[in-house]
Amino acid sequence: MNQTTKLGAPSRRALLKTGGALVVSIGAAVPFNFARAAEDAMVTGAKPPLTPDRLSSYIAVNADGTVSAFYGKIDGGQGLHVAIAQMVAEELDVPFKAVKVVMGDTATSVNQGGASGATGVQNGGKQLRAAAAEARRVLVELAAEKLGAPAERLSVDGGVVHTGTEMANSVSYAELIGGRYFNVALAWNGKIGNPLYAPGKAKPKDPKNYKIVGQPIKREDVAPLVFAQQDFCTDVKVPGMVHGRMVRPAIAGAMPVSVDESSIKDIPGARVVWNQGFLGIVADKEWDAIKAAQQLKVTWSNATPPFPEQASLYDHIRKAPVRKREVAEQTGNVDEAFKGAARVIEAEYEWPFQSHASMGPACAVVEIKNDQVTLWTGSQKPHFTRDGVAAILGLPAEKVRAIWVPGPGSYGRNDAGDAAMDAALLANAVGRPVRLQYTRDQGTGWDPKGPASIHRVRAAIDAAGKVIAYEFGSKAFPRVDVNSNESKPHDTLAGQLTGVALQSGDGFGEPEDSYGFANKRAYWETVAPLLDRGSPLRTSHLRDPIGPQVHFASESFMDEVATALKLDPVAFRLQYVTDPRDIAVIKAAAEKAGWQSRVSPGKDQRGTTVSGRGIAYVQRHPTRVAMVAEVEVDRSTGKVWVRKFTVAHDCGQIINPDGLRQTIEGNVVQAISRTLWEEVRFNNKNVTSVDWLSYPILDITQTPEMIDVVLIDRPEIAPTGAGEPATRPVAAAIANAVFDATGVRIRRVPFLPDYVKAALS
Amino acid sequence: MNEKFSLNVDGKSHALVADPDTPLLYVLRDDLGLNNPHFGCGLAQCGACTVHLDGQPIRSCITPISAVGDARIVTLAGLGTPEKPHPLQTAYIEEEVPQCGYCINGWLMTAAAFLRDNKKPTDGQIRSALEGLKCRCGTHLSILRAVKRATAMMG
């Protein structure tokens, strides 16, 4: 096809060549007709502006031939930077070890959205891949000029461009541009954050030629951690720095009425910073700061936060006025189909508030010097944090540099963003660099929470036992009372406590699957936040926002329908799921787990310890995951132990299978924790989950024996997310396995022993 | 009131002045510049601040410096080095355990003391020995693989 035409027609590039000079239509206005036109056009000694439309904003070849890849996201500990380096090295044809990924510093990278939505490879990697491909194209053109050979005839190996058999005729990337910068414009789509995309003219490689992508390359960042050589955000020290701590009210919503500064006058360097609801202290030494925060005498206003009793949380959601309703999906005529149903199956599910409960409470260091602000933050979205700090200090964004330093894992919008803003206000007030760290109770008690929700699901069955209609509804606190980044003061505690009104975002979400029911509707409704300012129950993104909630309900319900229709849960799904990749993961998980086809629950489950298996499957735009949980339930205590998980995972092209496996494992273990143990407790005064006793998480004694992962590699399909998808089916898979074991359906998370025991009796 | 203390940390002696109530954690981090024990809870609930005191893992966040006396303190930095790694450090690298790594002190220091005293532990014994330590990223299975690998290396 068209081969003759291709061979016969001179390429555009060839047409542009005259007398050894090359005119290219990229970069700045290009002079031509002299010998070094390409180099003059595409290479510069002065650093171009750090904007998303410049190749230099993503890739630099250093004088020693190593490559810096500037990545406007961050790695939260899953080894993402290894995958990014693999993608860059692959496109550039340099050794993997030649690439260093520089992450999350606003002085070196553009805003690619930080860690967000499991898009590290899907979006962030896509951009770095495009930039690296473009860099290679430009370097080959530069080499063509230097070597006097057409670019088409050149190859690259290990960062050296050569003319194939005549290796003598070669030039290295370092010789071409090392230590200088690409002066090349990219076709930026005008967006920042996750959707940022700025490709060049180069087309990335055909996956069948990959040598580095797809390899299980090891991480290099583990050794510094185990040898205590890796600093965290908490370890940043700045000369002249003081230690800060925040003072929060015992009763949510209370404001300081009076503050007795003399109560801490015996503590060296202790100072109070108070502005409306914002109350913090600093001291020279950290232990002194901790003591001062405890010792400070504060009179608080009377406050009665409108929190329901914990036990009536779900009733509150049921009864609360609907603030916003959206029908997210509508196929056929659902209401008519239900009217004509021979049988209707329905169920309701409940999910609690959950905390990020990061391993350490958040920390931030802020230095303000000559109107220039430097922020060291563990926030997973440092570019947005920079914007927020600039806004709260009333400065232009370019006056603030945010340097991401690994913090305790954040899993979404944890407390790190609030700490950055608090530290900025403290540093601004005391005129010294401030290192602020929260206390444990602030980390768990005052971080933004994953929203609590209820889910009503029903299915219409016809006389032949076919599902003719399906309706999935959620009623919930919105997914973001505060945005998933901290770029606006109203999305932070510091902003809200200094008088900026909450602007609760509205929205929730719906299950993602490919059940081909003829009539199908999915809708959600949100209710107002419980406290409109500075609330310890304000919501924001927690890993796979709303995903665990809705899929716990939807995939539990599919098993309820399967049981009602006396069908095996895998067979039921295969009967209705339409997408071939979905079908493939379901089959792969079932096969690897040795799934025996039968109706749930199993029989003869009368002993003290009973066992069962359950499946669940999901999409997450557009990754697919299916998993089989095998559980043991102690009927005498109600304790659920997930003995084994088998996971089939399809996220398109696999960049690094080892990193992917570990990432999936982390998803599953954390989601088991959220399913079995995690619930933010509160009373009518405040959140009472304030430490690891009052907010328990999975213990190693309860960890599964094994998580068996089947990776489905699809090199031809662009890689998609893995940092969150395997979180969302876990709760339903466990619930389905518990039902299989006991014949009892648990419709509320967490599956605490007392709750399960009560349900069993 | 501040008092003078002499601490033996990772084989070196340090003289310092501090409030006797100061938890060892802050002395190690802020006065001696040893960043690796981390503040996780201040309540002895998570293990991120774990160091060895005369070979026994303790939670430095609740151990006042006045209670340390002349006991030998060993931190993660003193457990092994890239040149002379502890088998657990090697195993952690080979198993690529981390997610965020903030909890690492608790697991490594607790497991090191346990493996020193228990040569061929079962899976159940390892889990019991590590009970109560927190890892929020969910690396528990990797940790177990690493401890078992280290056990094998230690013969």
Q: Mind listing the pLDDT tens digit for each residue in A631-654?
A: 999 999 999 999 999 999 999 999
Residues of chain B with pLDDT under 70: none
d(CA A81, CA A73): 9
Domain A362-438 in CATH 3.30.365.10? The answer is yes
Q: Indicate if the pLDDT at residue A4 is higher than 50.
A: no
Beta bridge partners of A365: A376, A435
* B123 burial type by CB count under 10 A (0-12 exposed, 13-18 middle, 19+ buried): exposed
Residues of B in contact with A693 (CB under 8 A): 45
DSSP alpha helices (H): ranges in A148-285?
173-177, 222-226
Token pair 């993602």 is at which residue? A512
The mean pLDDT value of chain A amounts to 94
Give the CATH class of B87-153.
Answer: mainly alpha
pLDDT digit string (tens) for A643-690?
Answer: 999 999 999 999 999 999 999 999 999 999 999 999 999 999 999 999
- For chain A, give the number of residues: 761
Task: Give the type of residue at A110.
Answer: V
Cβ atoms A446, A415 nearer than 8 A:
yes
Rg (CA), chain B: 16
Domains of chain B, residue spans? 3-79, 87-153
Q: Output the pLDDT for position B131.
A: 98
CB of A668 less than 8 A from some CB of B: yes
CB contact under 8 A, B136 and A701: no
Report pLDDT digits (tens) over A155-186: 999 999 999 875 679 999 999 999 999 999 99
Cβ of A411 within 8 Å of Cβ of B34? The answer is no
Question: What does each C-alpha distance from A528 to A365, B89, B137 come to in angstroms?
Answer: 34, 49, 31
pLDDT at A125: 98
Lowest mean pLDDT of A28-37, A222-231, A392-401, A529-538, name the range: A28-37
Is the CATH code 3.30.365.10 the one for domain A3-206?
yes
Cβ(B53)–Cβ(B63) under 8 Å? Answer: yes
pLDDT of A24 above 50: no
Residue A38: predicted pLDDT: 87
Q: Report the half-sphere exposure of A198 (CA within 13 A, side-chain side).
A: 27
Mean pLDDT of the A327-332 span: 96
Position A33 pLDDT exceeds 60: no
Q: Mutation test of the interface with chain B: which of A78, A103, A226, A437, choosing the one with the most B Cβ atoms within 10 A?
A: A226
- Measured between CB atoms, which of B97, B130, B136 is closest to A358? B136
Per DSSP bridges, beta strands A67-71 and A99-103 are parallel
Task: Answer yes or no: do A406 and B101 touch at CB < 8 A.
Answer: yes
Q: Does A20 have pLDDT greater than 50?
A: no
pLDDT surpassing 60 at residue A32: no
Per-residue pLDDT of A211-240, as tens digits, reads 999 999 999 999 999 999 999 999 999 999
- pLDDT reported for residue A270: 98
AA letter at A340: G
Question: Which residues contact residue A4 at a Cβ distance below 8 angstroms, ignoring those fewer than 6 apart?
Answer: none
Q: CATH code for A239-307?
A: 3.90.1170.50
Confidence of residue A2 (pLDDT cuts 50, 70, 90): very low
Q: Quick check: A419 contacting B, CB < 8 Å?
A: no
Q: Is there a contact between B136 and A672 (Cβ–Cβ < 8 Å)? A: no
CB contact under 8 A, B102 and A701: no
CATH classification code of A310-355+448-526 = 3.30.365
Answer yes or no: do B43 and A692 touch at CB < 8 A: yes
User: Distance between CA B11 and CA A354 in Å, rounded?
Assistant: 43
Residue A357 at interface with chain B, using a CB cutoff of 8 Å: yes
Residues of B in contact with A76 (CB under 8 A): 99-100
Residue A18 CB neighbours (<10 A): 11
Alpha-carbon gap: A182 to the closest alpha carbon of chain B (Å): 34
Domain residue limits, chain A: 3-206, 239-307, 310-355+448-526, 362-438, 573-760
What phi and psi values does residue A34 have, to the nearest 5 degrees?
Answer: -140, 165
Minimal-distance CA residue of chain B relative to A672: B138
Q: For residues A580 and A571, what is the distance between their CA atoms, to the nearest angstrom? A: 15
CB-based contact A719:A662 (threshold 8 Å) = no
Q: What's the rounded Cα separation, in Å, for the pair A148 and A649? A: 48
Decide if B34 touches A, using CB distance below 8 A: yes
- The CA-based diameter of chain B, rounded to the nearest angstrom, is 50
Give CA angle at A325 (A319, A329), nearest 5°: 125
The yes-or-no verdict on residue A556 having pLDDT over 50 is yes
The region of weakest confidence among A163-177, A310-324, A398-412 is: A163-177
CB-CB under 8 Å, A706 with B139: no
Give percent above pLDDT 90 in chain A.
92
Among A5-19, A210-224, A303-317, A681-695, the least confident range: A5-19
Contacts of A107 (CB under 8 A, 6+ apart): A50, A401, A403
Q: What is the pLDDT of residue A14?
A: 35
Nearest CA in chain B to A659: B96
A244 touches chain B (CB under 8 A): no
Nearby residues of A641 by Cβ (< 8 Å), 6 or more positions away: A631, A632, A633, A634, A702
Cβ-nearest to A286 among B21, B30, B92: B30
User: What sign does the dihedral A251-A253-A254-A256 (CA atoms) show?
Assistant: positive
CA B77 to chain A, closest CA, distance in angstroms equals 5
Class of domain B3-79: alpha beta
Given this model, what pLDDT does residue A167 score? 63
When the candidates are 1.20.1440.230, 3.30.365.10, 3.40.30.10, 1.10.10.10, the CATH number that belongs to A573-760 is: 3.30.365.10
Closest chain B residue to A242, measured at CA: B30
Q: Tell me A49's DSSP state.
A: P
